[in-house]
């Protein structure tokens, strides 16, 4: 039976709760030490964590998720000094980016050195993606465990990622040792991944930290890695991800009275879109409001996976989702939407 630990941000500073908190944290650390896998909160999505040095534990992650073995895992740390165990000397430009954005929703791909980490965790690559999450409870767990934790999203591979503990339980109950029940993710999509093994640096996966923000710190250009690669260097590059079981199609250009949906008369239809689109959607269509309006990119990203999960569990036959304008702030959001649809697109009105 999956064990549940309830730890909130308030528990971290509650003087009357410190003994109970320490007991929970110690239980979690011991579980990691013995090779167990645990769902933990981060500010991006919930992660399925295990000791990154333990190949048996890493194999449990791949098995629980049904994840392809060539899809590398991101290693989570709480202190930059931990990098000394498994990466080369860092370039000053990388350090400047870490200083600017860590803790936070960005992962850096760095040269891998030695055999400190499980080769399974990094998919036999000579590089490793690392990040330092900012979720207070996630950071506390990392600090107390004091070990590098490999932690991909805590969901069935290919399905919408989890943004709260219940999503993890829904997907992985009885496949994992435990789940930490804490505050939901505030970003709602996975971290930006920046490949720092060559210069100019390259974005391997867009996220909340944008190309423009990176270039402002570096004072130089940042490229983008092509997703058409046989051996992915980052999660989210090669495979269809984040998808419900029903067909999912992007409506580019927005929804209005002229939008024609390619559906059969007998099909039950679902639409995920900003609240301002509601007036154009018939009462016979299941509608989920993703955000206030078409410019609310951060809100849309935070709600995206929950909306996809609701539709996945509904009786609709086909789902349409609003396509947002292609601006820097929407790049991570639209990357996830296109990945979820397999690039199936129609034009709006």
50: which 2 tokens? 């295990």
User: Is 338 annotated in some ligand binding site?
Assistant: no
Contact between 115 and 128 (Cβ < 8 Å):
no
User: Is 294 annotated in some ligand binding site?
Assistant: no
User: Tokens 């509904």 — which residue?
Assistant: 314
Q: Pairing relation of β-strands 47-51 and 38-40?
A: antiparallel
**Which letter, b or e, does each residue of 211-247 get, where b requires 16 or more Cβ atoms within 10 Å of its Cβ?**
bebbeeebeeebeebeeeeeebbbbbbbeebbbbebb
Question: How is residue 91 annotated by DSSP?
Answer: P
Q: Reduced to 3 states, what is the DSSP secondary structure of residue 322?
A: strand
User: Is 71 annotated in some ligand binding site?
Assistant: yes
User: Is 314 annotated in some ligand binding site?
Assistant: no
36: which 2 tokens? 């167990």
Cα separation, 340 vs 244, whole angstroms: 8
Cα separation, 287 vs 202, whole angstroms: 37
User: Is 242 annotated in some ligand binding site?
Assistant: yes
Q: Pairing relation of β-strands 202-205 and 223-224?
A: parallel
Count of Cβ atoms closer than 10 Å to residue 146 Cβ = 12
Contact between 288 and 308 (Cβ < 8 Å):
no
User: Is 55 annotated in some ligand binding site?
Assistant: no
Cα separation, 105 vs 198, whole angstroms: 21
User: Is 76 annotated in some ligand binding site?
Assistant: yes
User: Is 153 annotated in some ligand binding site?
Assistant: yes
Residues 6+ apart with CB under 8 A from 31: 38, 177, 178
Cα separation, 332 vs 330, whole angstroms: 6
Cα separation, 346 vs 283, whole angstroms: 21
Task: Please name every residue paired with 74 in a beta bridge, in sequence order, or none if there are none.
Answer: 129
334: which 2 tokens? 């639209």
Q: Reduced to 3 states, what is the DSSP secondary structure of residue 164?
A: coil
User: Is 155 annotated in some ligand binding site?
Assistant: no
What residues are designated binding site for L-threonine? Answer: 44, 76, 131, 151, 191
What residues are designated binding site? Answer: 44, 67, 71, 76, 131, 151, 153, 161, 191, 205, 242
What residues are designated binding site for ATP? Answer: 67, 71, 153, 161, 205, 242
């Amino acid at each position: 039976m999956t064990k549940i630990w309830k730890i909130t941000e308030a528990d971290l500073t509650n003087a009357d709760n410190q003994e109970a908190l320490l007991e929970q944290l110690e239980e979690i650390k011991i579980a990691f030490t013995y090779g167990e896998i645990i769902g933990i909160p981060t500010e991006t999505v919930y992660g399925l964590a295990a000791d990154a040095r333990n190949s048996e534990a890493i194999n449990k992650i791949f098995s629980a998720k049904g994840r392809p073995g060539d899809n590398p895992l991101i290693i989570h740390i709480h202190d930059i000094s931990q990098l000394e165990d498994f990466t080369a000397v860092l370039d000053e430009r990388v350090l400047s980016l870490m200083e600017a954005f860590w803790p936070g929703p960005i992962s850096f791909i760095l040269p891998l050195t030695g055999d400190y980490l499980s080769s399974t965790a990094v998919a036999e690559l000579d590089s490793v993606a690392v990040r330092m999450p900012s979720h207070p409870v996630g950071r506390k767990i990392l600090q107390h465990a004091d070990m590098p934790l490999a932690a991909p999203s805590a969901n069935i591979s290919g399905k919408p990622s989890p943004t709260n503990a219940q999503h993890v339980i829904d997907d992985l109950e009885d496949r994992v040792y435990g789940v930490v029940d804490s505050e939901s993710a505030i970003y709602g999509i996975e971290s930006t991944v920046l490949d720092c093994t060559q210069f100019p640096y390259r974005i391997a996966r867009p996220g909340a930290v944008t190309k423009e923000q990176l270039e402002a710190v570096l004072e130089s250009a940042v490229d983008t890695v092509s997703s058409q690669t046989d051996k992915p260097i980052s999660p989210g590059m090669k495979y269809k991800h984040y998808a419900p079981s029903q067909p999912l199609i992007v409506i580019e250009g927005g929804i209005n009275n002229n939008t024609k949906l390619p559906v059969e008369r007998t099909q039950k239809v679902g639409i995920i879109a900003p609240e301002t689109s509601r007036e154009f959607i018939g009462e016979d269509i299941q509608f989920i409001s993703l955000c206030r309006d078409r410019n609310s990119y951060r809100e849309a990203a935070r709600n995206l996976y929950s909306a996809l999960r609701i539709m996945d569990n509904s009786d609709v036959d086909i789902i349409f989702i609003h396509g947002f304008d292609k601006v820097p702030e929407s790049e991570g959001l639209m990357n996830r939407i296109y990945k979820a649809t397999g690039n199936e697109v129609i034009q709006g009105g």
